[in-house]
Amino acid sequence: MDYALDSLYLPLQFLPDLTYLALCIQYLVFYQLLISKIFFMAVQSGDTIKIHYHGRLADGSTFDSSAGRSPLEFTVGSGSVIQGFDEGVQGMSVGEKKTIEIPFAQAYGPEDPSMIIEFPVDRLPEDLKPEVGMQLNMNNAEGQQFPVVITDINEENIILNANHPLAGKDLIFDLELVEIVD
């Protein structure tokens, strides 16, 4: 009978302290979360991310790229990038590459005919020689500057387009998620 009690007592002596056991469990949970964040976490609204991109039009022409620069950093869902880009990065994992196509309605919207302005040639500075494609800056009623492009010239007026240069255009982005910052 003493033998049976001794055999029960010996294993209890070798059980780790409960504090040590709890600490081990905490570390395991922490490392599991860390590993899942690094390798398996998907981008969601509210995450700050770093992403490389190459933006092009349907004809293949590039309009913007982060190549040779630091990746773009922004908070997803904050409204700091166009809607289609914001939605396109959600669900991506670090290291993932993908191509997204953004219709103009989720980019810079359609061209607005009210943003086409006729401006009298005689009101231009005398030293300005207008040419189609030339970019100028105008001031609105509040004194804020905005860019316009000369699209046509006749004897009396120049025609200016104040739409965003990518308005009315579908956009294609090649993306590579570099980091989920937080």
Q: Do both 7 and 94 map to the same domain? A: no
pLDDT in tens, 75-113: 999 999 999 999 999 999 999 999 999 999 999 999 999
CA distance 42 to 89: 9
Residues 119 and 35 in one domain: no
Q: Is the pTM of this model over 0.85?
A: no
In a shared domain, residues 89 and 172: yes
One domain for residues 22 and 61:
no
Q: In the prediction, which pLDDT does 23 show? A: 61
What pLDDT shows up at residue 5? Answer: 46
pLDDT: which is higher, 15 or 180: 180
pLDDT digits (tens, 9 = 90+) for 38-75: 556 899 999 999 999 999 999 999 999 999 999 999 99
Contact assessment for residue 88 and residue 100, using Cβ atoms and an 8 Å cutoff: yes
Residue 84 is classified by DSSP as H
Alpha helix (H) residue ranges in 67-174 = 83-89
Domain co-membership, 81 together with 171: yes
Let me know whether 117 and 148 are in one domain: yes
Please state, in angstroms and as integers, the Cα–Cα distance from residue 164 to each residue in 57, 118, 167, 171, following that order.
Answer: 15, 17, 5, 13
pLDDT of 36: 55
Residue 103 sits in the same domain as residue 171 = yes
Note down the domain range covering 59.
48-108+167-180
Q: What is the CATH number of the domain that holds 53?
A: 3.10.50.40
Per-residue pLDDT tens over the stretch 3-35: 444 444 445 455 556 566 666 567 666 666 566
Task: Specify whether 119 is located in the same domain as 68.
Answer: no
Name the domain count of the chain: 3
Handedness of CA 23, 25, 29, 32 (dihedral sign): positive
94 & 175 share domain: yes
In angstroms, how far is CA 100 from the centroid of its own chain? 12
